[in-house]
Amino acid sequence: MNLKRLFVVIALTLFSVQGSASHLLGGEIIWKCKPNGKYQFTLVLYRDCGGIALGTGSQTIANNAGVAISAAYVSTTDVVPACYTGTTTCAGATSGTGKMQKYLYRSGDITLTGVPPVGGWNFTWNSCCRPGSISNTNTGGYLLRAVMYPYTPPGATGPLSAGTAANPTCFDSSPNFLEDPQVISCTNVDVVYNNLGYDPDLDSLYYDWAAPLAGNAWPGTAVTWNTGYTTSSPLPSGTGSTGVTIDGTTGEVNFKSALAGSWATCVKIEEWRCGQKIGEIFRDIPIVTLGCPAGTGLCASAFVDEAPSLDITPDPNLANPTILVPVTNTAGDTLYLYTEVYPGDTVRFDISSSDPYPNPNCSSQNINFSASGGNLSSAVKRHSAVFRLPTLLNCRLP
């Protein structure tokens, strides 16, 4: 398997969730506006498959909105890419091998009332501690957070209210991460990955780095970076390394690390509607780079660690062939392709890929295709197509 763009997260174990947790990896908090006008909150935590299991008791999400939010355990999911470890389960895992589990906790329907303050309603979960293997900071502890801000619709005289206890009227669902955090790679490899942010309300999203936080309560304390690292440059950037960047529009992350290590990072997604920031979510998770040994075998000398070719060709048999427009970065690399269609139009194209280089043991390389995005995610509970609207057209009452 070509390791050119292979990422896995190394999760670290929790001894008891929201207690003494020296091996916690990180997580995120999101919320959903329900049809009944109430909010549902979800807490996601990650742990190393090789460590002890996380607790399945309810978790408390602290907040300044004046409500009690208890998130009950829902499920545990293995996040183990087969191409990296040879298995897709946590069975028999050893700590530090990159096998991860995702723990999901979810609240019941929560009634928020009134209007968020200018600084927003903040929702937090804290635990100790960051793993000792972290290379870019010595600060311990986690304070996971999300923020819901007020929103004033165009033409309105004031921000929308979440209603009253008798008549709740939620006005926003937060963005979500459609991709699990698979971010282990080899040293000296150009890495490209995306957390795939998605907003069910089709609000405009902006991506950036944020400071990982520690502390017991909001606003917490930003980690203290070791020399050579900052919030906007949390990975190695010295000789042989290409400092990490994140595209504010697409969320694409690029880096190459010449050093092996575990690097604390925090990705922020801002949610904008009609020029107003109405929400923020944060994924606090380390990126791990490993010194991967060279493959051995009869074909080792012929092995070339290059990404496979990828060709995307519109189907010419359609009466109105799909037109795919590339969007490139400053280096000329294609970030993504897009097409403009009307409801009812057919979008069809062929995808082909090849890799002429055998593995060191002379076996053929395997190329796997997987699709992701709003249309294909459980975050969208409908069968109709979803299209991201321009910001101007998104200025509407929810």
Distances in Å between the Cα of 58 and the Cα atoms of 50, 53, 265, 345, 371 are 23, 15, 27, 46, 33
Q: Please check the confidence at residue 324 and state whether its pLDDT lies above 80.
A: yes
Tokens 């109709």, residue located: 384
Model confidence at 280, in pLDDT bands (50, 70, 90)?
A: very high
DSSP string of 132-143? TTBSSB----EE
Instruction: Give mean pLDDT, residues 59-86.
Output: 85
**Which amino acid does the sequence have at 117?**
P
The mean pLDDT of the chain is 83
Instruction: Output phi, psi for 271, to 5 deg.
Output: -110, 120
Q: Where are the chain's structural domains?
A: 26-290+374-394, 309-354
DSSP string of 270-332? EEEETTEEEEEEEEEEEEEEE-PPPP-STTGGG----PPEEEEEE-TTSSSPPPPEEEE-TTS
In sequence order, the β-bridge partners of residue 325 are: 338
Closest CA to 350 of 385, 324, 327: 324
Q: What is the pLDDT of residues 158-211, one digit of tens each?
A: 999 999 999 999 999 999 999 888 777 889 989 988 999 999 999 999 999 999
Instruction: Give mean pLDDT, residues 379-396.
Output: 36
Sign of the alpha-carbon dihedral angle for 27, 127, 216, 106: positive
How far is residue 289's CA from residue 312's CA, in Å, rounded to a whole number? 31
Q: What is the pLDDT of residues 284-294, one digit of tens each?
A: 998 988 888 87
Q: Which pLDDT belongs to residue 120?
A: 98
CB 390 within 8 A of CB 327: no
Q: Which pLDDT belongs to residue 128?
A: 85
Instruction: Give mean pLDDT, residues 36-52.
Output: 90
Q: Which pLDDT belongs to residue 66?
A: 97
Closest CA to 26 of 206, 264, 281: 264
The percentage of the chain sitting over the pLDDT mark of 90, rounded to a whole number, equals 50
The percentage of the chain sitting over the pLDDT mark of 70, rounded to a whole number, equals 84
Q: Which pLDDT belongs to residue 253?
A: 94
Between 309 and 2, name the one with better pLDDT.
309
Q: Which pLDDT belongs to residue 201?
A: 94
Instruction: Give mean pLDDT, residues 30-34.
Output: 97
Q: What is the pLDDT of residues 115-168, one digit of tens each?
A: 999 999 999 999 988 877 889 999 889 999 999 999 999 999 999 999 999 999
Q: Which pLDDT belongs to residue 206?
A: 98
Q: How many CA atoms lie within 13 A of 238 on its CB side?
A: 7
Q: Which pLDDT belongs to residue 244?
A: 97
Q: How many residues are present in the chain? A: 398
Q: Please check the confidence at residue 323 and state whether its pLDDT lies above 80.
A: yes
Instruction: Give mean pLDDT, residues 62-83.
Output: 89
CB 187 within 8 A of CB 292: yes
Model confidence at 68, in pLDDT bands (50, 70, 90)?
A: very high
Q: Which pLDDT belongs to residue 333?
A: 78
